[in-house]
A and B are shown apart, each in its own frame.
Chain A
Amino acid sequence: MTPRFAPGVRLHHDQARARWIVMAPERMFVPDETALEVLRLVDGARDVDAIVDALAAKFDAPRDIIATDVRAMLDDLVARGALAG
């Protein structure tokens, strides 16, 4: 799976509240720090494995644990319409 943002969805810096949000049609989500790290790697080119590799390297963490978390998070964001798989 190579996740990408669904049409009309993007990361947006909310200056008034000093935070990043996922801007979506008539909705917005506030990602937690972990989700934000994942979403910053969603570019329509990296597949899930590449995203997991990048996070495992960045946080020096076990790859299988990261993979489980990332897959669950991406699956949830697809179900909410924020990402297309």
Chain B
Amino acid sequence: MKPPLALLAELTHRCPLRCPYCSNPVELTRASAELTTEEWARVFDEAAAIGCLQVHLSGGEPTARRDIVEITAAAHSAGLYTNLITAGVLLDAPLLARLKAAGLDHVQLSVQDAEPAGAERIGGMKGAHARKEAAARVVVEAGLPLTLNAVVHRQNLHNLPLLIETALAWGAARLEVAHVQYYGWALINRDALLPTRGQLDEATRVVVAAREAHRGRLVIDYVVPDYHAARPKACMGGWGNAFLAVSPAGRVLPCHAAESISGMVFPNVRDTSLRAAWEESEAFNRFRGTDWMPEPCRGCERAERDWGGCRCQAFALTGDAAATDPACALSPHHALLAAALAEAGTAGFRYREFG
């Protein structure tokens, strides 16, 4: 069994934004159940000890935690490369200076659209876009590397050229063009968010041209979305293969969305070590490797390249987490994706909220 490379630390589910595709579970964890500073420090030490090299400090909005500086310092002193994944609306110059002094290595800043009106409608927070621009300036002026993360979908893909301009204007060295993944909140809002084939083809054309035009200045990461794909993505690089997440309440997950699979029991850092969770827990071993695979994954030459795709998506669409991801054209459920695309096209969506 290989050791994990990276830890996603979901410090909180609290967030000033209400994006309708939020990757947090539909059942959000309240502040009172969150791990303490000391518990996170122990998680970071254990993660480094089992081989993790990077930690992604995420949420919710990680800076909604009053101890975010102490948490960052603990991750840094554990020897982890620290990445803050933030919406930026709470990130001012004094806080960034304290984070940098604590050892922060990199900031990933989300944007919901290239224009304030669209961005604030999608994110559900007035004034957010200007605050993000100010946060980007603070990061760049502090000399920290900045990645802009643009989550794209039916309602903002027409602005992709402007999003690329935004990344350049705000001083990002890297842009992630991240298509929405459809489970949890995004699945509830799928009809409003799924892009058309025409939108996708145009987006791919724009990215290819921009990569060439801005070579050496802006790196653009881009993955074709599952609903228009013929083969699934290697979700998380394989279940329990390279990556682990810890939820705000301490549950250790093979993927941040894994709690969307009902009936699974995940280990908790309050009861067990990270090493035991990674190596011995039933949850991590359930879909590890290839032995669990059904047809058509079993024996497929791509089994160890795409690992059968995404377990959460398989569960969301077929009710069986052990099924081949329907994103694969060989899946007996592949037609579900075309059917969803045919139904998509509504404008309204439901914001994320605490239940």
Contact = CB atoms under 8 A, between A and B. Distances in A.
B216 A7 contact: no
B167 to A, nearest CB: 12
Nearest to A17: B51
B216 A79 contact: yes
Nearest to A78: B216
Nearest to A7: B145
Contacts of A81: 173-174, 219
Contacts of B54: 23, 26, 28
Given A16-B50, A25-B147, A81-B174, A8 B105 contact: yes
Given A17-B51, A79-B215, A26 B83 contact: yes
B3 interface: yes
Contacts of B173: 6-7, 25, 81
A26 B108 contact: yes
A80 interface: yes
Contacts of A7: 143-145, 173
Nearest to A82: B219
B5 interface: yes
Interface residues of B, number: 21
A71 interface: no
A26 B58 CA distance: 13
Contacts of B145: 6-9, 25
Contact of A23 (B81, B143, B147, B174): B81
Interface string B191-226: 000000000000000000000000110010000000
B53 A23 contact: yes
Tell me which of B106, B108, B215 has the highest count of chain A C-beta atoms within 10 A of its own C-beta: B106
B56 interface: yes
Contacts of A85: 216
A74 to B, nearest CB: 11
Contacts of A6: 145, 173
Contacts of B219: 80-81
21 contacts: A7-B143, A8-B105, A8-B106, A8-B145, A9-B145, A17-B3, A17-B51, A23-B53, A25-B83, A25-B105, A25-B106, A25-B145, A25-B173, A25-B174, A26-B83, A26-B108, A26-B174, A78-B216, A80-B219, A81-B174, A85-B216
Interface of A: 6-9, 12, 14, 16-17, 21, 23, 25-26, 28, 78-81, 85
Interface of B: 3, 5, 50-51, 53-54, 56, 81, 83, 105-106, 108, 143-145, 147, 173-174, 215-216, 219
Given A7-B145, A12-B81, A81-B173, 14 more contacts: A7-B144, A8-B105, A9-B145, A12-B53, A14-B51, A21-B53, A23-B53, A25-B105, A25-B145, A25-B174, A26-B108, A28-B53, A28-B54, A79-B215
